[in-house]
Structure 1
Amino acid sequence: MAEGYAKIFLKNKYEVQSAGIETHGLNPNAVKVMAEDGIDISKQKSKLIDPNYLKASDLVITLCGDAKDRCPVLSEHTRSIHWPLADPAQAQGTDKQKLAVFRQVRDEIKEYVSKLG
């Protein structure tokens, strides 16, 4: 979801890439709630971090849980930001309750990304 918003709000400021320390595939709930906001992320892929690309990055943003602690070592010239969001993929309950968590996190991500622009 962050990649989807960043590619809209930050496209003229940053080269936007998204990756993680594990791949889990694209969550259909993320696709659904982003589509509700007019953003198609259905073609995005779950990718592993490229350590060389990471070391050359100017800004790295970690999201959710322990991502900050598990992120590989960054260059001293890399600015790092952590957004302590709930991991919506871990949401429990009915489908409706899970979607509510995805919407909440989507809205938080949108707010954070828009402030970077």
Structure 2
Amino acid sequence: MSKKRVLFLCTGNSCRSQMAEGWTRHLKNDSIEVYSAGIEKHGLNPLAVKVMAEAGVDISSQASKTLDDLPDLEFDYVITLCGHAQETCPFFPAKTARLHVGFDDPPTLAKTARNEEEALDHYRRVRDEIRDYVRTLPESLGDIPEGA
């Protein structure tokens, strides 16, 4: 079986898409060639790095990037993780299936936290939701027609 090439796309490629890339490398490296990017670069979020490390996944060497920073690759699937990325997702060739799986934005949620631990709890919840989604891959992608 050849690996599916999957791109996780978010606004700033700082948190959710980085977590998704890390989980996919950790859990699905045998079946998925994974990339992440943002519409913009916001830098790697240190709290995302911290909560992923708590779960045994090191994303500290990953870097925030845009599509322009990726080599000229064709993707089987582009998965947008936030509404902004879904709305502004650039054009991909017809054979690339696009889908949206939205997750809350931990940095936005953390702004209302009373302390760092409460802020980290937002990151942990989203981290675990992304992990649970990644566990369904690539099987859950099989129902999506190419070019969708």
TM-score by length of 2: 0.72
Q: Is the 8 A contact 1:2 1:113 kept in 2?
A: yes
In structure 2, C-alpha distance between the alignment counterparts of 1:101 and 1:65, rounded to whole Å: 18
Identity of counterpart residues, as a percentage?
48
List runs of 5+ in structure 1 lacking aligned partners: none
The reply on whether 1:77 has 2:95 as its aligned counterpart is yes
AA partner of residue 89 (structure 2): C
In structure 1, C-alpha distance between the alignment counterparts of 2:62 and 2:107, rounded to whole Å: 16
The reply on whether 1:14 has 2:35 as its aligned counterpart is no
Task: Kindly indicate which of the two structures has a greater share of residues assigned to strand.
Answer: 2
TM-score by length of 1: 0.90
The reply on whether 1:33 has 2:79 as its aligned counterpart is no
The reply on whether 1:102 has 2:123 as its aligned counterpart is yes
Q: Is the 8 A contact 1:6 1:16 kept in 2?
A: yes
How many Å apart are 1:11 and its aligned residue?
1.4
Cα offsets for 1:59-84 (capped at 9, x unmatched): 11111232111110122111112111
In the TM superposition, structure 1's runs of 4+ consecutive aligned residues that sit over 4 Å from their partners are none
Aligned positions, number: 116
Instruction: Specify the alignment match of 2:6 in structure 1.
Output: none
